[in-house]
Structure 1
Amino acid sequence: MHLPIDTAGRFPVDTAGEPLLYDVVPPAAAPTHTVRIAPGVDAVRITGWNAEDLAPRTGDARTHADHPLAARAVGLLDARERTRFDPADGSAVTWGEAGIVARGASGTPIFPRLDPCVIGVVESEDGERILLAEHRRRPGFFTLVAGYVDVGESIEAAFAREVLEETGRRVGDVAYVESQPWPASGALMLGMTSRTADVDAQAPTGGELARTRWASREELPGLDLAAHGTIARRLIDRWAGHDTRKAGTWR
């Protein structure tokens, strides 16, 4: 069986949103890369064809970030296409059938790159408001502060640093909550929660955000928020539902 994925990263899905599998690749399409994503199931990159040609509904790495088959398919195909040479000696690499190990001339195993990224809730000191952000590169909706973990940095320290750099607020009581694979960028999103006493920015910001705003639970339904299915939206919805954290976990 094959899961065809076009060059834009889209694949056909059924009315329930499940990826559609086919016995053969679409006629007149040109497959370029193939990876084994499950026993008897291959993901195939197709050129000269669009996913909409097979089905009226399509998915991609963002809409199916939590889907074990689709996320693996997109992530492994992207890794195969990005990593073509051994960083140690510049030799061309050959990928195994499963797409999770490549080897160059030296034979040293090379694995798909996975970048840890923190994202999370910044809650007011009284627990009644949440700090939302609109990104300059992705305008039109409010989401949560996020950023990549630096070398030698814990995820708690990374989140506190990102919040300070992007919003000028100092946070404490930082804790890990949950995670989500994000094959669209090869990241692993690590969901965090925190609190701050800083109503206003206390330090200069890096300019990545178009704006920030505090919102109460009552105000959230009237705002354009991150899409359902994303970890940002899950964290916002959990906060809105008065989930509380104890001993580093939300319940």
Structure 2
Amino acid sequence: MTEAVLWVDPAGSVAVDAAGQAVWATMPTHARQLVRVDAIADRWAARVDTADVETLARRAGGRVAETREFGDDRPVTRAIALLRHRDQLRFDPHDGSELTFDADGIIGRGSRDRRVFPRVDPAVIGLIELAGTDRILLARNAHRGTFWSLIAGYVDPGENLEEAFAREACEETGRRIHSVRYWGSQPWAASGSLMVGFTARTDDQEAVAPTDGELAEIRWVDRDEVDDLPLARPGSIAHAMITEWRNKR
């Protein structure tokens, strides 16, 4: 029996031990979905009920952890993303036939034998500095307003990544940006995204265009003020970018 299986509940949560490390257990007896995460190490992920994950967490002396806590854990991120794909895609988008999956549970095929691969949605996120100052633009989302984060959004068809970030910055904050530079990237299994990070500058201290209402509050902050704000959680690309900027004193 495989000894390296990640049990994932319908919300994408997994069991972690007392040190906060994901628990890889034996194969569950009643997994609803099963995907291979790593062929070389023979790691798998299984979709199970929330009660199963809670039981495993108690056995490990730990707790149940949400998807958002594993931004830097590649095997866990891959596991959650692949199971999310299996849950959401049951039929071939081309002809509507039911999909059957390969032995690894990753690639599906419909009645026409057309391969259907896991979907990844590109998104952009970025740290915007006010030109000539030592401040960055942070915001609270209108629907998830308990923490401060960077400007982000999905890439539209026909856009490159830099264009997408410039559009999102203008739509959400009313600021025009320039000097866009690539920073890094991070898979984000919670939404099936690949987050691509940028830095940029703006000359617009105040909004010069109408905004779309997605943000509840927008604020320019300096390095000392960052420490007083509840930020996006550790493990997220937003937290990494903000922390890196803050530490450049």
Q: Which amino acid aligns with 2:11?
A: A
1:159 is displaced (CA, Å) by 0.4
Distance in 2, Cα, partners of 1:168 & 1:66: 32
Deviations 1:155-195 (A, max 9, x none): 11110100000000000001111000001100000001000
Distance in 2, Cα, partners of 1:234 & 1:140: 18
Distance in 2, Cα, partners of 1:242 & 1:48: 42
Alignment check: 8 A CA contact 2:14 2:67 kept: no
Gaps of 5+ in 1: 244-251
Distance in 2, Cα, partners of 1:218 & 1:138: 24
* Residues matched between the structures, number: 240
Q: Which amino acid aligns with 2:48?
A: I
Runs of 4+ in 1 over 3 A off after TM superposition: none
1:86 is displaced (CA, Å) by 0.5
Alignment check: 8 A CA contact 1:30 1:48 kept: no
State the partner residue of 1:43.
45
What is the root-mean-square deviation of aligned Cα atoms in Å? 1.4
Distance in 1, Cα, partners of 2:26 & 2:49: 18
User: Is 2:140 the counterpart of 1:134?
Assistant: yes
SS at match of 1:134: strand
Distance in 2, Cα, partners of 1:147 & 1:111: 23
SS at match of 2:143: coil
Gaps of 5+ in 2: none
1:50 is displaced (CA, Å) by 4.3
Normalising by structure 1, we get a TM-score of 0.91
1:17 is displaced (CA, Å) by 2.2
User: Is 2:88 the counterpart of 1:85?
Assistant: no
- The 1:24/1:112 distance shift into structure 2, 3 A limit, reads closer
Calculate percent identity across the aligned residue pairs.
45
Q: Which amino acid aligns with 2:121?
A: D
Show the 5 A alignment for 1:8-157.
8-25=11-28, 30-39=30-39, 40-47=42-49, 49-55=51-57, 56-157=62-163
SS at match of 1:18: coil
State the partner residue of 2:215.
209
Q: Which moved more, 1:226-235 or 1:4-13?
A: 4-13
State the partner residue of 1:198.
204
State the partner residue of 2:10.
7
